[in-house]
Amino acid sequence: MIERAPFGRTGHHSRRTIFGAAALSRVTQEEADRALELLLQHDIDHIDVAASYGDAELRIAPWLARLGRDRFFVATKTGKRTYAEARDEIRLSLQRIGTDHVDLIQLHNLVAEDEWETAFGRDGALRAAVEARDAGLARFIGVTGHGITVARQHRRSLERFPFDSVLFPYNFTQMHGQYAADAEALIALCEQRGVAMQTIKAITLGPWRTARPATPTTWYEPLTEQRDIDLAVRWVLARPGLFLNTVGDLGILPKVLDAASRGGPKPTDDEMAALVERRDMTPFFV
């Protein structure tokens, strides 16, 4: 069984593997419901979705209606940067999810400097998130991001506002050089302040070497073999305090959950180096 850990200072003890609902963006309800059965088998209790994830918010609505609102810690995201746009998108997300509140509202991919300044401004998206929290529409507020500068930007965000969670890329090939230094500084700050740390891109092989297929919903080319996924997942979960957000491809999801449920010791640097060489892995963000 996948272990639980405190999700920062929220009071929620989450399974350390969080369902990344981007995997539901372009599937039928029947396909989504089959994924739900897999999540229930592994007792996954935390869903991470976003307004921009296609039909994903609509797909989880029947789950909450069937199982009860309290079965899952539900997080969604707004990618809007102005107050009015974010306010409206947050309320639309609640309608689509079929709930009167989410547990976590996140400012989505807040990295670019101009967008960051807008979101933190007087009429920015952060004001809408705080308003939603104060009105009982959300319990907590987080910030997410992609790219090589995200860890550094998250530290700036935490200096401006006491976010309850952050989300950033974390895998063996990415954690080198300046990005690793920035990520380690972010992790240290989060540990000091009790900020929950969600990670993405755990099973990244690298950028797509050929044209990205239409079916997978991963922006990166993922590892697909169970033994490779086992190493990548164990490497992330061996770091105390980190949560792993699952893959955006329902076909690979069972392998990620299987790896997380079996657990195991942290792979050695030699094991990870052998994996990188065997699969010719490269960082997704450069």
Q: How confident is the model at residue 42 (pLDDT cuts 50, 70, 90)?
A: very high
CA 105 to chain centroid, in Å, comes to: 12
Q: Which pair of tokens denotes residue 139? A: 């319990």
**Cβ atoms of residues 140 and 73 within 8 Å:** no
pLDDT in tens, 126-175: 999 999 999 999 999 999 999 999 999 999 999 999 999 999 999 999 99
- Looking at per-residue pLDDT, the higher value among 96 and 209 belongs to 96
How high is the pLDDT of residue 213? Answer: 82
Provide the percentage of residues in the chain whose pLDDT is more than 70: 99
DSSP state of 118: H
Q: How many CA atoms lie within 13 A of 201 on its CB side?
A: 26
Would residue 176 be called left, alpha or beta, if left means φ above 0 and alpha means ψ between -120 and 50 degrees? beta
Residue 194 within a domain:
yes
Task: Give the number of other CB atoms < 10 A from CB of residue 273.
Answer: 13
As a whole number of angstroms, the distance between CA 198 and CA 127 comes to: 23
pLDDT exceeds 70 at position 76: yes
Please give the average per-residue pLDDT across 250-255, as a whole number: 97
Pairing verdict, β 17-20 and 242-245? parallel
Number of domains into which the chain is organized: 1
Alpha helices in the chain (DSSP H): 29-41, 56-67, 83-97, 113-120, 125-134, 150-160, 177-193, 226-237, 253-262, 269-279
What is the distance, to the nearest Å, from the Cα of residue 211 to the centroid of all Cα atoms in its chain? 25
Residue 286 is assigned to a structural domain of this protein: no
Specify the CATH number for the domain of residue 202: 3.20.20.100
Q: What pLDDT was estimated at residue 211?
A: 85
β-strand partners of 75: 48, 104
Q: What is the pLDDT of residues 160-174, one digit of tens each?
A: 999 999 999 999 999
Cα–Cα dist 227/222, whole Å:
13
Distance between CA atoms of residues 190 and 163, nearest Å? 10
Task: Let me know if residue 284 belongs to a domain.
Answer: no
Q: Which residue has the tokens 């009105």?
A: 135
The widest CA-to-CA distance across the chain, in whole angstroms, is 52
Q: Residue 114: inside a domain, yes or no?
A: yes
> What's the pLDDT at 11?
97
pLDDT at 217 over 80: no
pLDDT of residue 216: 64
Here the tokens at position 175 are 């954690």
The model's confidence at residue 248, banded by pLDDT at 50, 70 and 90, is very high
Taking 80 as the threshold, does the pLDDT of residue 214 lie above it? no
Per-residue pLDDT at 256 exceeds 70? yes
**192 lies in a domain?**
yes
Burial-class residue 202 by CB neighbours within 10 Å (0-12, 13-18, 19+): buried
Compute the mean pLDDT over every residue in the chain, rounded to the nearest whole number: 97
Q: Which domain holds residue 255?
A: 4-279
Do the domain assignments include residue 285? no
Virtual CA dihedral for 193, 165, 241, 112, nearest 10 degrees? -100
